[in-house]
Amino acid sequence: MTFPFEYAVLRVVPRIERGESINGGVVVYCRDLDYLGARVQLDADRLRALDPGADVEAVAAALRSVAGTCDGTGRASVEDIGRRFRWLVAPRSTVVQAGPVHTGLTDDPAAETERLLRLLVLAIDR
């Protein structure tokens, strides 16, 4: 049996005024299976190609913070997972931004999170 899920790509935008970005992670939410998860992976070389002065560690920490919000270790962990997902994907003008929310069907949202990380962040098609 499959269930609907929502996901968004986490974009790293080192210089907001330029609008250039790289993908740094994914957030997946499946209400029916009570799942909220994120996988992040920062490519420091690609980040520095967009902004040689980027604070790689600060950006990595911001991405880890998103993952912490999903797994319940972040400051927003007191909220239910649906509210946390909506908060994470809300538009903002910061270095780490969520892209548009997309939907799909899955029977294993954790595996879907890994698949999306490989496909959309690591650019591995398998």
Q: Which residue's structure tokens are 């049996």?
A: 1
Q: Which residue's structure tokens are 């970005």?
A: 21
Output DSSP code: residue 99.
-
Write down the pTM of the prediction: 0.92
What is the maximum alpha-carbon separation in the chain?
48
Token pair for 57: 């560690």
Contact 22, 39 (CB under 8 A): no
Non-local (6+) Cβ contacts of 82 within 8 A are: 29, 31
Token pair for 84: 């946390």
**Segment 42-87, tens digit of pLDDT:** 999 999 999 999 999 999 999 999 999 888 886 677 789 999 999 9
**Segment 83-122, tens digit of pLDDT:** 999 999 998 878 999 999 999 999 999 999 999 999 999 9
